[in-house]
Amino acid sequence: MRRSSSTCAASVPAQVPEDARILGAASGILGAETDARFFERLVCRAVEDMGVDYAWVRLEALGGGVEFTASKSCRAGLPADAGGAAAELETRLALAASFECLDGIPASHPWFGQADARACVAHRIFDMDGAACGHIAFLFKRCLADASAYAGAQAMLAAFARHAVLGAAARERELARLRDVVAQHEALFQKAPVLINAFGADGQCILWNEACEERFGWSEAELKAYRNPLELFYPDPQVRQQVIDSVGLQPNRAFREWNPRTRGGEMLAVLWSNVRLPDGKVVNIGMDMTDNRRTEAALARLARIDSLTGCWNRAEILRRVEDRLAAARGGEGGPNTALMLDLDYFKQVNDRYGHLGGDTALRHFCSQLRACLREGDSIGRLGGEEFLVLLADSDVDVAHAICDRLRASLRQHPVDIDGEAVALSVSGGIARFADGDSNASEVLRRADFALYQAKRAGRDCAVEYRV
């Protein structure tokens, strides 16, 4: 087909009212709702108000899953065999933004089958990125002397569609995407298995996720009812101020451990990191390490405990003696006394009742000993049936009294071994800490010597070391 403006010519004055009518009708279309049905209304109005015999809009699928009507005819419809028309136009329009076929189109042309089209005017539609995404096409059963009014109307409609319709659709898709992103971030914030919160410059809570509510016991609404909610977590004003200062103008992103309290009064161990957002807000991200710290403490304690009796092991009790010696050299505390204890005739218990019976006897002995001690006294198993009691801020009189109570308790409460009541007795050696003691070995040496004297004195007694 060739482009021409001479076929079916008419005088210019006669065209002016027609052009005005066409452009007026196009202007009316611009006032339609800019929703997904805009193009359907466009083709209907083109047929009804602009003298177009067949009209359609073809659009490719748009990003985000939005797709308008692929093709449309608003009167009588295109013949069933006219499906190639849109594809042919798209190919020709690829070379230019608009396309006009002003020569008569034979009725037998494969584009339109029996549509008996004589003229065609089409214009490409571009999306907001400037990419071609379809076209508007008008077909006529009559010849057109001048298609400029229709071409102008289509250019106007295509430009309007690009900005008002496709642009709105693109903006809606972007808004939907942003809403989805916000929803995802909100879900992540609320459901994250870490503590996330934020407090404003006035100390009020502005962010508080579900993990915080579950761990601390307060809801966000409850926190907002408090004038200074940080007081709930850090009752000590000095500690609370340190927490506030740790955020400051330059929050520390490195994790630092703090010990906030829960609603029930439990003290937690939480690693907090502070992240400043672009708007100036500081978000606190915390990892609850309470169970880990308890596990670490339990493991550390197990490393210092005698597994059979539950007393401190040899290394731990000697470390405590060393600590008391160091404190005494620094002038701290009062006198200190060591009481070394040894079960009498324990070998006979083992020989008669076996090692399991001996273990039962040792546990019973420690239970009776604990009942005779004061809070703050320490018991350590040195090995076998030998134990050391560290009596801090106590003189030898306290050691004698404890030893007397223990011996009486053992007589009154024999141990049950395999259904047989077995009475136990104990010998003790008492040694004061001396000003010249440089290490625990010196204290133990004197206590051990006193214990030896008690054994020689007939057992079941306590002897004080004397120079």
Q: What is the pLDDT of residues 40-92, one digit of tens each?
A: 888 888 888 888 888 888 877 554 333 444 333 333 344 444 445 556 666 66
The DSSP 8-state label assigned to residue 208 in this structure reads E
CB atoms within 10 A of CB 449: 15
Q: Where are the domains of the chain?
A: 12-174, 195-292, 304-464
pLDDT of 80 reads 45
pLDDT at 349: 94
Per DSSP, what are the bridge partners of residue 441? none
Residue whose entry in the numeric block shows the structure tokens 């420690």: 366
Which pLDDT tens digit goes with each residue over 5-19? Answer: 333 333 344 445 788
Identity of the residue numbered 265: G
Which is nearest to 424 in space by CA: 375, 376, 373, 352? 352
pTM of the predicted model over 0.85: no
CA distance linking residue 398 with residue 384, whole number of Å: 25
pLDDT, tens only, 397-437: 999 999 999 999 999 999 999 999 999 999 999 999 998 89
Going by DSSP bridges, is the β-strand pair 426-432/462-464 parallel, antiparallel, or unpaired?
parallel
The listed range with the strongest mean pLDDT (26-30, 39-43, 328-332, 388-392) is: 388-392
Give 382 or 74, the one with higher predicted confidence.
382
Amino acid, res. 283: V
195-292 and 12-174 share a CATH fold: yes
* Fold of the 195-292 domain: Beta-Lactamase (3.30.450)
Going by pLDDT thresholds of 50, 70 and 90, the confidence category of residue 96 is: low
- Give mean pLDDT, residues 222-244: 91
Reply yes or no on whether the pLDDT at 213 is more than 80.
Answer: yes
Angle 285-290-294 from CA coordinates, rounded to 5°? 155
pLDDT digits (tens, 9 = 90+) for 157-207: 988 888 877 777 677 777 778 788 777 877 777 888 899 998 887 888 888
Greatest distance between any 2 Cα atoms in the chain? 145
- DSSP for 302-362, please give it: HTTB-TTT-SB-HHHHHHHHHHHHHHHHTT-SS--EEEEEEETTHHHHHHHHHHHHHHHHH
d(CA 208, CA 217): 12
Give the per-residue pLDDT at 410: 96
Average pLDDT taken over every residue of the chain: 83
Q: Residue 145: what pLDDT?
A: 83
Q: What is the pLDDT of residue 362?
A: 96
Task: Give pairs for 107-112: CB < 8 Å, separation 24+.
Answer: 110/81, 110/84, 111/82, 111/84, 111/85, 112/78, 112/79, 112/82, 112/85, 112/139
What architecture is the 12-174 domain classified under in CATH? 2-Layer Sandwich (3.30)
Q: Per mean pLDDT, which range of 83-92, 231-240, 320-329 is the poorest?
A: 83-92
Taking 80 as the threshold, does the pLDDT of residue 371 lie above it?
A: yes
Cβ 124 vs Cβ 93: under 8 Å = yes
Question: What was the pLDDT predicted at 70?
Answer: 35
Q: Burial level of 462, CB count in 10 A (0-12/13-18/19+)?
A: buried
**Tokens matching residue 155:** 């250019």
Q: What is the pLDDT of residues 98-148, one digit of tens each?
A: 766 666 555 555 545 445 677 888 888 888 888 888 888 888 888 888 888
pLDDT tens column, 267-286: 999 999 888 877 778 889 99
Per-residue model confidence (pLDDT) at position 118: 79
What number is the average pLDDT over the span 295-312?
92
CA 290, 295, 296, 301 torsion-angle sign: positive
Give dist(CA 20, CA 184) in Å, integer: 52
- At residue 445, does pLDDT exceed 70? yes
Phi, psi of 142 (to 5 degrees): -115, 165
CA atoms of 414 and 417, how far apart (whole Å): 9
Fold of 304-464: Alpha-Beta Plaits (3.30.70)
Nearest to 417 by CA among 342, 348, 371, 369: 348
Tens digit of each residue's pLDDT (9 = 90 or more) over 454-464: 999 999 999 99
What's the rounded Cα separation, in Å, for the pair 278 and 96?
A: 46
Q: Where are the alpha helices (DSSP H) in 217-305?
A: 220-224, 230-233, 237-247, 290-302
Q: What are phi and psi of 119, to 5 degrees?
A: -150, 155
